[in-house]
Structure 1
Amino acid sequence: MGHRFMTADVARPGVPKVSICIPAYEAERHLQATLDSVLAQNYDDFEVVIVDNNSSDRTGDIVASLHDKRVRVIRNATTLPIVDNFNWAVEQSRGDYVKLLCADDTLEPDCIAAQVRVMDANPGVVLVAIRTDFIDEVGDLLRPAKGLRGINGRQSAQRTIRQVVRSGTNPIGPPVAALFRRAEFDKCGGFRGGLLFPLELDLWVRLLQHGDFFGLTETLASFRICAGTVTALTSSRSQLAQMIEFARRLTNNPRWRISTGDRLVGLVNAFDKQLRRDVLYLMSSARSARRRRTHGGGASLEAQDSSSRRVESAHGKGKFNGIRNFN
């Protein structure tokens, strides 16, 4: 599908300042919690754009039950690949600022207001990110307040990209952490394929070709770690190889002035961060298994997880709960 991105105008009457875009596919397990957190924001000037990517579960019923004038629902006639669906969701937005929220993550009530304040006060900033808690399938905490190591406050693009390489991971954070300017999204062409695991990090880097970054140290969102996401179904070896290749491409771009020393530090950290990712998924899986044994819901939950894996394998597209790439 070809996408024709249209640059957002400024202060258009009746047009919201912020668009919260939620691509949803087979998202019935967590979508209601995500929507509840979005609609409870202490900020009013936003719209919610939900793209149901031709789901076969109760995703359509959940969004059909919403009666809120801020919400627009779009249902795809066919199931789009993850990159196309992410771009399609943002293409439907009308706001000057955009947050793409995966259908199993949640926001704290002050999230949008805090990020908008940063954007409004800093016209040269194109991307602002917050810290996030990592939670398991039922919302229990796995790790608190992650992200933004070494990039707190306003940072130049060059310094931010250098920290990306040195971190060996994604210090900016997943989509739920970020708010970006729609105009710059259009300029850089949106999400693109190639390396799927660092999908959002690739976008963050290209956005920063057009301005500065701001790391807001408040923890204002939660990032869910569970079965059925692209990361859970991508081998550790593949994840690590993609991150190393992504860092190599940044290093080879003279614009970012990345040294050999930066690259070597990042290579060491990449192995460490991959191990940490693996441990978190093991923890989440172990908790889920323990709950199934305790509550006697094993057959039902196992069937859901098995179904998720079959869907991912058949389509090669990933559930639209996002790429689980984090530091």
Structure 2
Amino acid sequence: MAELTVPGARSTTLTSVCIPAYQAERHLRVTLDSVLDQTHPNLEVVVVDNNSTDGTAAILDELTDPRVRVVRNPTTVSMVDNFNIAIRESRGDYVKLVCADDTLMPDCVQVQAAALDAMPHVKLVSARTDFIDDDGAMMRPARGLGKIVGRQPADHVVRCIVRSGTNPIGPPVAAMFRRSDFDRCGSFRPVTSFLSELDLWVRLLELGEFYGVPKTLAAFRIASDSTTALTSARSQLSQVVGFADRLAADPTWNVTTGDRVFGRLRSYDMQLRRTGLYALSAVRSGRRRMKSRAARV
């Protein structure tokens, strides 16, 4: 039976929060504030500026917290490459990747680090996330995990991925893992335009178990100009279905025909929901811009 209690012991393990940043001036300060406000006592923060041309560099120049280390790419690299650079620059035993527009609850790092401390066979920890819009307003609370709360064997989690038609583990901000396991399984890969994290989660699960924290510990921004928002719905659906088919074809995961059929049907519904969320965020952002312009007239 899955363990449903979040480990309560305090962790002191050095944990790296890695923030890949590109053209991030709009939300970067909020993200940094949420990371630096963590209760975890042994924290390093690695920010990689991907050769931004907006105000990102100026924000980073203002930082004085000794826990923060800034790395600047001399040229702009791909999003996935920047993710990998950020993690490879880390020095902690545990790693958490936080995109430069997402945020953490104050106890996020402590809770997830304590879970990894307590369960050495667990290779990936994730938590529920709130979905927020461009301006930080709530869109959907406490998303993710579903039937993978608590300690779970890897094959059960992968079957749930296939059946869900989406990514029940969550985006990078929801997860934490060991740096040594990241090195072992080969880092993020550009397998699709928006499923690179799910590809990494599955490869981490090849090494051991999963733990789903039954608590909301982060917020994921449904940004109207994000990679997902700019990827066509047809392409997203094709990528999700293709990824699930590859998992189902691997006998390691014991995926049944029923899992595959159910997931294929559910993927259409989840794509409609995903497209609707990003469209709603864009509409909200447009309305705010119109109100702002009207107020200036």
| Cα distance in 1 between the residues matched to 2:88 and 2:276 | 36
Structure 2 counterpart of 1:158:
155
SS state at 1:127 partner: strand
Q: Which runs of 5+ in 2 are unaligned?
A: 1-11
Name the aligned partner's letter for residue 90 of structure 2.
S
AA paired with 1:174?
Answer: P
Provide the secondary structure at the position in 1 that maps to 2:272.
Answer: helix
Contact 1:16/1:94, CA 8 A, preserved across alignment: no
Residue 194 of structure 1, CA deviation: 2.3
- 1:1-327 map, 5 Å: 17-296=14-293
Normalising by structure 1, we get a TM-score of 0.85
- Contact 1:292 1:298 (8 Å CA) reproduced: no
Residue 191 of structure 2 contacts residue 199 of structure 2 at CA under 8 Å; is this kept in 1? no
Task: Give the whole-Å Cα distance in 2 for the aligned partners of 1:298 and 1:77.
Answer: 40
**RMSD (CA atoms):** 1.4
Alpha-carbon spacing, 1:268–1:289, altered in 2? closer, same or farther (3 Å): same
5+ residue gaps in structure 1?
A: 1-14, 300-327
Structure 2 counterpart of 1:200, which letter? E
Name the CA distance, whole Å, in 2 between partners of 1:298 and 1:164.
Answer: 46
CA contact under 8 A between 2:39 and 2:110: conserved in structure 1?
Answer: yes
Q: Which moved more, 1:100-109 or 1:286-295?
A: 286-295
Q: Is the 8 A contact 2:224 2:279 kept in 1?
A: no
What's the secondary structure of 1:169's corresponding residue?
coil
Please give the alpha-carbon distance, in whole angstroms, between the structure 2 residues aligned to 1:298 and 1:231: 31
User: How far apart are residue 196 of structure 1 and its match?
Assistant: 2.3
Q: Which whole-Å deviations, capped at 9, do the CAs of 1:127-183 have from their partners, x for residues lacking one?
A: 100100000111100000000011000000010000000000000000000001111
Amino acid at match of 2:121: G
On the 8 A contact 1:107/1:222 being kept in 2, the answer is yes
**Cα distance change, pair 117–291 in 1 and its aligned pair in 2 (3 A):** same
Instruction: Evaluate the alpha carbon distance shift between residue 297 and residue 159 of structure 1 in structure 2; reply closer, same or farther with a 3 A threshold.
Output: farther
Q: What does residue 303 of structure 1 align with? A: none
Residues 98 and 77 (structure 1), Cα distance of their counterparts in 2 relative to 1, 3 Å cut: same
Letter in 2 for 1:170: N
Shift of 1:83: 1.6
Q: Does the 8 Å contact 2:13/2:94 carry over to 1?
A: no
2:208, 2:237 → 1: CA distance? 28
Report the Cα distance in structure 2 between the residues aligned to 1:62 and 1:235, rounded to whole angstroms.
32
- The CA distance in 2 between the partners of 1:197 and 1:40, in whole Å, is 29
CA positional deviation for 1:289 = 1.5
